[in-house]
Structure 1
């Protein structure tokens, strides 16, 4: 529960809450007197009794001091017997997220703040906090300043400025510790007209004084104030005394029982003394658990219960005489539970291994009142053989490194040893179980005498009880005593100093394709990774004439900018950055070339020769403004300069019929608008023949390959191509067991398996003699696969032609690519095809047409394709002819018609010539 100082919604203008917890007095502020406050208190009581408030939840309270009835505390859970941990909350340890909701850093706790709207804090143990300022007014030449500390009674405060120094002697101090009700402070009465606020907390018919100080501060003295003092005096039933104890279990008992600032529950102090003793147990020179805590942050009552019982190391349960604090310490097994005592099955739950911490860092308050850490490491973490999964637990109420370290060790042990939660339904025998008991459980299936600590017992129905429990292991509870870290002796530099500048800074301009399909240029910046031990990343600034063009923050030693403006000088600055400070910049000047950059290389060129013609095709190069592609040829092994120009073309294909017979290298480069060439040419070696009479018989696109040791993939949802890559099928986690930085090649390169890609077999119908050629797109990843054009007369016996070109006869054809391990390659279609260019055979003959109907000619051989049919009428009379109904196969036939000049069909002699394959 946290009580708040809030402004009353009925106060006029800038007037604050009339009940007087906090007031901001300015030049126009005037107090309207006791009548106004009496009126609002009556109104508050009337509203509390009103019908619309009778429906409020059990345990919820409203602030009776404000007529608006503002809610100031959330309800406790109302389940019978349930005040302590939620199921699955292990023992006395609240979750890290719950502790984060209630914890504040040391810097936040020590800030001076305005009291209006702030929480009225409840302090336990020895604490240090900033002042809640109220009623500031200049009086008699000095600043009169009220400093609210919290609910009383508190110990006498010692005041400091924001730098931690004692206040100067010229600052007059008057302290009200809240031991008893007192009249309004005389300094404020003298300074503020009509001031009569005694600064008390009234709730539930009870009144508690607040602790505060009033200061008279001369000119130029500090006005940011913090104080160190002992927190609330709490009751200890073991000695029947009330004092400012540092025992967290006594804090929890006080907070649960106090009716004004606490929950107003009954606490069985006698049965809770084991928890008090557990905190006071002496280990070395100090108690097991001690410190100082400020309840000063808005959070639910349940969140603060979880936080307080974490500090106390206990579990809360309900007894016949009130709430009982049960220490979360090793204890003997109370009974055994077997299958016969379980109704249904036992529900088990564990945390994923990836979510279990291997490093626990408890953030506590050190002797200098600043945040510091106590860290526990699982075995193997520091050696690098176990993953580093860190959990940061904020527990600012601890004041000792030993206490915080034991907490870290217990949490780490719990994550490793007791990561199991169980739930089951039992009969009335469960009445023998209490929260905090340790039992052993055998369910006949998965658990055999498993030790469990009971965390909740709740009714499930008549004679039925649900038991919640967590795994128990006495090894969780550590008595380790770790003194505060001593002076550090290390060659590591001071983390507050700037990292040194990065080295080997380089920037390369490259052309890339933008989302709209156009091309532009950008910078790819690289540098050597910083060896500064505290470096967390890098900041890259790209400036054009002192104007920031690009800002990139990265953890890697490279960065890529967006589009650049052509012929502009850019300054590249790279800073190494730590969590605290940036280093000096390493600089580099670059003039963007844009379209003046040479075009990229043509990725690949493919082609073949048929009938004396060379047919080439290539992939497009990348550039901002490619003009054309220049194609040259040279003897095999010749250079670009030695090559002869064939043509400059706009497209990506070229047919050349002027190439002499021989073996030639055909080369392609891109040329841009300013005449720049690609740095390197793409080349293809092709043997050219003089068989100019050959013609294309058929070309087949391949689309149904058979693969072994390969997997099919697509580059995206809209990718029209089909692609395959060598794949051994091993799981990623098995193949890449180490860190990914250990694998320097592309991931596909680690597929160690023989692979085969073979197209479907194509039947061309008849045995054809001619120029066979094939093409397909292969991308080597590691090594190069063996490729072949395979031909067969019958589809059973195959001959391989590795050059993918053959001048022979065949009927069946297919393409293949195969590689032994560890060669890896990729293949894709529809770029795979087979074609046959054959030399035609000629048959001639003579026949006589008829005056009506066709004259059918049957040739001697069977043909698969026809190149040409020529008919020559005999005689001197002009005649024309028409050829129709050409049928290839066995037999091959065609029909001939002859006509006179009037278009009438006539009977006459003629000769014919048939060319085909």
Structure 2
């Protein structure tokens, strides 16, 4: 039997011996029909191709890569990686040898030798890993290594983004629902709110629920018009990359009557204590006066001074609302705020190489905002504050407002 690709191997039978059970032992020698022409006539004839098995060096795997995953062992959640290769077309390949050099190590260590093209790398930590693999044949032949360097995040890998957010309002209560995040190391969710219906972002929204258990995917809040944003947080404190958002245009309290609206921005004509008005916004002042500066060379920026910003500041609204009688009033604050790095100016840069990006806004800073208008983070600019007083009775009230930054 022969083909155009490979010819049949020829043998010359030397002897045949009968064995027990109707079996025969055949002794043969390889036969080359072109031997006489090569030896006696000196012809240079091509070798007869009698096998489809490749010859020569064994080929290395075509490429190598890694994909991270999480797994549970007992009560702990650990991270691992699947090391995968793309094998070549060499029919001699029977096994694949994997080795890894972990962060801080100086040499490779054996991971596994197996027939599968995917090896498991358990218990990974954040850092740079060097991985390599090579092909082995059944005769022990080895191919060159195929190597790659991969950066693994381990448990610092951000959890998956929330894919949907649904909002329902009933009897003054707003209910948020989102599909659960499947990450094994999910710890909790964080919910933020902005009174803006358009253009609200995570950095300029206020925290209304800082911890919603990871086993719960709903939350209830008093109904308010605005934008609600939700992000997942894992056990390492890492947030999902993007927040899911939804808006509600349904008014909050139908049984209350809005009788007064106070809007201090952008003039901020009231009394300011350790805060300043900058381009229509309020921000914390420096913790010291210019007279306290020893020398100008020690001043980082004019806003920061040498000792940083004040721990807190107060703004007392200029307008005092007199309701004309004593009775219960409800105040609702509408505050748009954002945090920023006061040292993110070009004057404070040491070298351009030390700057990650020109827009140095901290998108992940933790901020808290209370409904009565007090704020408690380090660097804040207050865009606008509007208080609405809703009065269910005719008793007299006199209300003064102040805002703490």
Q: Which has a greater percent of helix?
A: 1
**TM-score, normalised by the number of residues in structure 1:** 0.21
Of structures 1 and 2, the one with the larger relative CO (CA 8 A, separation 6+) is 2
**TM-score, normalised by the number of residues in structure 2:** 0.43
Larger-Rg structure:
1
